[in-house]
Chain A
């Protein structure tokens, strides 16, 4: 089976830095994705990691360690609009080729 764990909720202050962790145990691994989802909206792509290390994209960075089954999403200079759910997803092989398996999501609340 597939198991992807991330904290349910986090709170941080505007202007600060927050790190959202994701651990996974999956049958196969073909990449890890982070998505942002505002309430009532579709998920939007944030980052993709397939090799170990850090990927930086503006205020957002994502890290992957395949040997540890671990990733984190780092958000810097937090803004109120960053209040959203953040979804960690692992691409794994299935009968159709590949599929994304999602964690439960982390609801981030940014306070003034």
Chain B
């Protein structure tokens, strides 16, 4: 069975500082990996995905993520956080051999303080 772990319930960072949101995954085959962001009382918005190729993936709003196969991780990063980045972030995985099911982590709340 596939699974995703986001070990931090909340990340606090000062505006202008680097932001990292951690994600590790477990799948039986090769993964498709995704990051989404959710603002209060809204649906999830897609940020970026890893399918194959370069381990560093660039996405929307200045976010990027690094795929590390040996550590089974896909951490989300932003070099300089903005107050408007405060939101709930979800990592998700699909197993290429496991069908169309997308499994989400429990989410990490990011709070960027001015």
A and B physically associate: no
Interface residues of B (CB under 8 A from A): none
Residues of A within 8 A of B (CB): none
